[in-house]
A and B are shown apart, each in its own frame.
Chain A
Amino acid sequence: MSDHTHVNRTKLFAVIFAILLGLTILSFGVANSSLMDQPVRGWTAMLVISVAKAMLVIVFFMHLKWESNWKFVLTIPAAVMSTLLVLVLIPDIGNRTESYSNDRQKFAAYEVVDVASPDPSDQSNDADTSDESSSSEKEASPSVAAAQSAKSNEKITVDKSYDEVPGEWGHLKGRFIASGEIPVRKEIVPDKDKEACELPMYSRDLVVGSDRGIKNIVVFLTKPSTPLAIHPFYDSEMSQPVLLDNQRCRFEPHITLMTTKQLLRAKNSDEVGHNANITSFNDPNSHNVGIPAGAHVDVRLPIIETRPITVTCTAHSWMKGYIMVRDEPYMAVSSKTGEFEIKYLPAGEWQIQFWHENAGYVKSAVAAGKTITVGRKGLVDVKIKNNEVFDFGQIEIPAADLQSK
């Protein structure tokens, strides 16, 4: 290598250069050959060619062949470390595609929607009778759907797997029916974005079904002096965000129930932009988020509310929904048949409240079988016994009390 011992290696370098050119063409050829029918083979072949080319450049062009032993000190650790750096990342690839968690699915670049599966939506034409679970149909996110449908009203079914849970737990159920003349729901005529709206559109403040069941009465446990234990039945539900969708210029669901620990996922399935302006009683921070078409925004409502708070859309004056935020998940909204149930309450004597958006706290009600006394703030005393269902039966409320003022 020194000046006077210099040997002319021009010929050798020319040969190496020719080999490098050949390898480049070979690599290009592999990419267009049948080897790529099984991509792993083609990729491997190309990487092998690349390594070979790299070695030729390093060994000859970078003169490492003629260097003394110091070359190993620098090049081997660097080669080992860089190979490791790439290799340690490889398991991430496997984990990503093998088991796609629900969270990851949401942020994946491309959701694989199974087009072959039958359409799950039941295309109900009566827009107002859609229950909470329908709001999540547009989203290919099964977790949210599951959390919402856990609230669907059916006969109280007790899961045997919860038998082992320590403590005493009971259930609460009932059904609201309207007495007297039922007012006709007003038609709402949207003043803008008509194409994006459901038409015809009716007010949702008092919805009474054909069987006189009253929809959208909120039943919740008065805040106890000490925090209550939460049954494991609620674990999966409480770990999920609560979905509040904007569908056809309506909030879906009309009344959203959530706990202070959950996230509120305000979603917009419409083609027009919406916003969710949440007017809280107790939370000093204002929450008004804009949601572009097709997007969603997560909101945290960490402060307990004494009654449902409103959520409105500034752009669409008729859009109004309610959100109830409590520390514990012991609350329910009556379904279109007027039925409600709260599962797995801790046993004991509790006060519950009935709330309706027109009437505020429901002050007078007659329960079939039992007479219930409703206090000033809609307070009703209930006694929950272990493994028993406290059934109000039918709770009659005069429709006149629930009319909008």
Chain B
Amino acid sequence: MTHQPEDESSPIQSQHDAEAGPNAETGHLQLRYQPGLPISNGKLCVWLFLSTEIMFFSALIGAYIVLRFGAPSGSWPTPIDVHLVEWIGAVNTLVLICSSFTIVMSIEAAKSNNGTAARKWLFATFILGATFLGVKGYEYNSKFHHGIYPAMPRSKMYDKPDLQYLSALQLYCKDELKKIQNDSGSEGDKVKHISDVQQNLVDWTSRVVGKTNATQVQVRALDLLAYQINANPRYKDSAMEYLRIEESETKAEAEKLATQLTDKEAELKTIIDRLDVVVKRLEELAAIEMKDEKETAETTKLETEKTSLGVRRIPIENEIAAMKLRIKAIDGRRAFFENHPLGEPLTESLHLDLPFVLPSGNTWANSYFLLTGFHALHVLIGLIGFLLILPMSLGTERAGLIENFGLYWHFVDLVWIFLFPLLYLF
């Protein structure tokens, strides 16, 4: 496959001869074989291909670096945020390094004309490559399970807790409740849990955000919502601060409402009592068959009073109902935070898979899937190559072929050597 070391000087020699003009003895042009590079055509092609592949992955990695380090400071997701398990990545690195070693051993065996050993080593490489893909598949699956997809429409991730995030949560709760209701064997706990989240977390926040024009309040209320759902430490301070303010405000409001409610109920009671008296008297008057003038006048007067009392009664009753609703909402909100203290992510609670907020999350997902996806594609192509050469007899004559596949395989390993720290450890 390769040339003898002494051949390397010959091209220059032959060129020199050709330039020297016609051979003095025969008068013919002396042309000698020009071997070009002292390697086989196949190996040359693999090397040329690899040098373009270097460009391909450099561009991808460069783009990733710009996105990663160009993201506003502190906003890039940490591995925990996106459910990346570092040791799984490390295991995959080990797997690929082992496979690099086994393919080298396979070439060595082939060169020693030990076909059986070469096949064994090659098969080991194939198994290791397949393991890598399997682990990758497992990782992808866990990403999908958490709602992390490379494209926006399917992704359950939001870059920040904003109104769009809030609408997504509202829709989610609505859909989820509808789904459960359609299920015949519905679970009471699940319904209670989701409607609890809907009323006391999502709808509450949407009311707060809708009521105020103050950006600061809106941002904090949404931060609290996001923190309650996925406990991302990024929102912790803002959420804690806001909850503290909200609790003292709602406490004061509840106390005020309670006194107002007593007043209103007393007012309503006087109205109802008076109404009872009026109605009773009217019934008495109605019972009299022959009314004199005084009694008719009294009836008219009482009828007017009855109407006016009725008119006064309705708004007070409405107000009382509204106050009771508000008190119930405040109590519900308070109870919710007692049952689900801050810092315990709701996403992990049973049945609940709410969209979560991750600054730069979608950018992360796009670059992660793009980089690892292209790499996995290369691994897959390598595996197909190994499958093709496994049935051949792997003696000395095939050593060059195995080496060519080996070169490609090492390159795939090289890319992962850079991808692993960049994606998992940075």
Contact = CB atoms under 8 A, between A and B. Distances in A.
B224 interface: no
Interface string A90-133: 10110011001000000011111101010111010000000000
Nearest to A118: B216
B75 A109 contact: yes
Interface stretch (B23-31, B66-74, B275-283, B338-346): B66-74
Q: Which of A31, A68, A89, A92 neighbours the largest number of chain B CB atoms within 10 Å of its CB?
A: A89
Given A62-B410, A63-B403, A119-B215, A89 B66 contact: yes
**Category for how many chain A residues contact B:** 35 or more
A21 B104 contact: no
A299 interface: no
Q: Which of B160, B213, B403, B410 neighbours the largest number of chain A CB atoms within 10 Å of its CB?
A: B213
Given A13-B104, A119-B217, A121-B213, A28 B166 contact: no
B58 A85 contact: yes
B97 A81 contact: no
B172 to A, nearest CB: 14
B376 to A, nearest CB: 19
A89 B163 CA distance: 34
Interface stretch (A47-55, A154-162, A203-211, A253-261): A47-55
A67 B46 CA distance: 14
Nearest to B411: A62
A70 B417 contact: no
Contact of B112 (A6, A14, A17, A81): A6
Given A10-B105, A89-B66, A96-B70, A67 B39 contact: yes
A53 B51 contact: no
Interface stretch (B190-198, B203-211, B315-323): B203-211
Nearest to A36: B425
B426 interface: yes
A28 B90 contact: yes
B51 A74 contact: yes
Interface in B206-242: 206-207, 209-210, 213-220, 238
Contact of B417 (A53, A120, A196): A53
A196 to B, nearest CB: 6
B8 A68 contact: yes
A82 B61 CA distance: 10
A140 interface: yes
A70 B37 CA distance: 7
B160 A110 contact: yes
Interface residues of B, number: 84
B112 A92 contact: no
Q: Which of B3, B66, B396, B421 neighbours the largest number of chain A CB atoms within 10 Å of its CB?
A: B421
Interface of B: 1-4, 8, 37-39, 47-48, 50-51, 54-55, 57-59, 61-63, 65-66, 69-73, 75, 86-87, 90, 93-94, 97-98, 100-101, 103-105, 108, 111-112, 159-160, 162-164, 166-167, 170, 206-207, 209-210, 213-220, 238, 359-360, 362-363, 396, 399, 403, 406-407, 410-411, 413-414, 417-418, 420-421, 424-426
Interface of A: 1-3, 6, 8-10, 13-14, 16-17, 20-21, 24-25, 27-28, 30-31, 39, 43, 46-47, 49-50, 53-54, 57-58, 61-63, 67-68, 70, 74-75, 77-79, 81-83, 85-86, 89-90, 92-93, 96-97, 100, 108-113, 115, 117, 119-121, 123, 134, 137-138, 140, 195-196, 248, 269-271, 292-295
18 contacts: A6-B112, A8-B108, A21-B97, A24-B90, A50-B421, A61-B406, A63-B403, A68-B8, A77-B51, A89-B63, A93-B66, A109-B72, A110-B72, A110-B75, A110-B159, A115-B216, A138-B213, A196-B210
